Structure 1
Amino acid sequence: MDFLSKKKMPVFFQSHETEEVTYLVDGIKVRGFLMTPYSEVNRIVVYLRGGKGQVGKVRPGRIAQFKTDHTLLFAPYYRGSNGSEGRDEFGGKDLEDVTVGIQILKTLYPNVPIHMIGFSRGGIQGLLTYQKVNATSFIIWGGVSDMLMMYDERIELRSMLRRMVGHPKKQRSEYELRNAIKDIHKDSPPILIIHGKEDKQVSINMALHLESHLKEEHVKYETIYKEGEGHVFRPQVERDTLEYIFKWMDKCENNE
């Protein structure tokens, strides 16, 4: 199992090679961004982008924030976006773009711990896949945890959700398929919740809703709720948060 092709990207880091990869999922060609260290790989971080199409697209600078000299980074574009074939279903068949990409990485780098980071819409992508791929941990950052809550809170997104998912009353089953929280239990991999308390795009209610379930199910988790921060944190707060994320990944790998 491997990528179909790799194309070098005009993004340069001393420690990593950057490539756009193409791989086959459900008979269609999906693309993603790959950063491979020149040294031995001892950690894999999979970044799940937010938005759809050109909104929230994968940015090398954002992915590079999570690199170390021995960390491989991968970010699927999702089908229907940035040259990928198919149609984005917002937590539907596009979830396979995540799982198949990770299966390829697990084949290429067996026994290497994998951490998933879901930002914004990437939150639901990760919650619906991180157990299937047996991730070491999942970090949800300003992430969506409930599609029905998203429909209720984001009035301006309702037409998009009706188009991509359906109406929550008429196509209730489609929203139930995207309900990841119900399948998280005490034996699920640990979750780190990061959220700005002033987030206007993804309400803090999403984080509190997820935390309540994790607490009830006795899942290992931690939270970082930032006063005065919105959907995107200010630079210094972001740096502090990234530092904590690295410590979190170390702890999870050491079963602490």
Structure 2
Amino acid sequence: MDFIKRKLMPADLQTHRVEEVTYKADQFNVKGLCLTPFLPVKRIVVYLRGGKGQVGRVRLARMLQFLNKNTLVFAPYYRGNNGSEGQDDFAGDDLNDVTSAMRILTARYPQAFIHFVGFSRGGIQGLLTFQKVNVDSYIIWGGVSDLRLMYEERVDLRNILRRMVGHPKKAKEAYRQRDALAHIQSDAPPILIVHGGKDKQVGIHQAYVLETHLKEVGATYKTFYQMQEGHVPRPQAMKDVLKIIQSWMANVEAYKNNEKKL
């Protein structure tokens, strides 16, 4: 299994090759952006975008935030977006776009550590896939953890949610299938919750709901709340959170390495 097409992108990076890749997910040809280091791959970071369509689209600048010389960064566009076949399903069948790509990457780099980063809408995408892929850690950043709560809080998004998922009272099965918390127990990979206290796009209550659940089931997690920040942190706060994320990934990997030695 491999990508069926690779398109070199116009990015002048000294350490990585930047490609738009095409691969099969279900019956569709879907695309993503892949930054592959010239040095051996020791870490894979999968960035799960937020938004829909051109809003929140995958951008190179965002992916560069997670880069180091041995890190491969991959971001799926999701079906129905940016030239990918199919229709965006908002944490439905489009979850296969994540797991299909990961089958390719884990086969190519079986020794690499894997970390998911789910931002905004990508939060629920990650919560529904990170255990299936058996990642080493999951970072949910300003992310949606409860779709019903999102429907209640974001009146301006109700039309989109009704169109893509349905009304919570009429499409109970669709919402049940997207209930990520029901599947997260004490044996889940460690989770880092990052959220801004002034986030108006995804309220911090989404983070609190997730934290409460993780505490109740005894899962491993850590929080980093920036109470004066919105959905996207300001420059200095952005530096702070990226430092926390890098430290988190390094600590998880160090712990895993110690486990292997034991």
TM-score category of the 2 structures, normalised to the smaller one: over 0.9
Q: Count the aligned residue pairs.
A: 256
- Determine helix, strand or coil for the equivalent of 2:73: strand
Residue 13 of structure 1, CA deviation:
1.1
| Alpha-carbon distance, 1:254 to partner | 2.0
Unaligned runs of 5+ in 2: 257-262
The whole-number CA distance in structure 2 between the counterparts of 1:244 and 1:170 is: 41
1:179-205 Cα deviation digits (max 9, x unpaired):
001111111000000000000000000
Q: Deviations over 1:15-49 (max 9, x none)?
A: 11100000011111000000000111100000000
Q: What amino acid sits opposite 2:242 in the alignment?
A: L
Cα RMSD (Å): 0.7
Tell me the equivalent position of 1:163: 163
In 1: Cα distance, 2:133 partner to 2:214 partner: 19
Task: State the TM-score, normalizing by the size of structure 2.
Answer: 0.97
Q: CA deviation at 1:111?
A: 2.1
Q: Distance in 1 between matches of 2:216 and 2:254?
A: 25
TM-score when scaled to structure 1? 0.99
Matched, 1:91 2:85: no
Unaligned residue ranges in structure 1 (runs of 5+)? none
Provide Cα deviations, 1:52-104, integer angstroms capped at 9, x if missing partner: 11110000000010000000000000000000000011000000000111111
Q: Is 1:101 aligned with 2:66? A: no
Residue aligned with 1:232, SS: coil
Q: Distance in 2 between matches of 1:12 and 1:122?
A: 27
Q: What letter is aligned with 1:7? A: K
Answer yes or no: is 1:80 the counterpart of 2:43: no
Cα distance per residue 1:159-188 (max 9 Å; x no partner)? 100000011111111001000011111110
CA distance, structure 1, for counterparts of residue 154 and residue 227 of structure 2? 22
| Deviation beyond 2 Å, 4+ runs, structure 1 | none
The CA deviation at 1:255 is 2.1
Give 2:208's aligned residue.
208
2:260 match: none
- 1:143 aligned onto 2:143: yes
SS of alignment partner, residue 199 of structure 1: coil
- 2:18 equivalent in structure 1: 18
Q: Percent identity?
A: 57
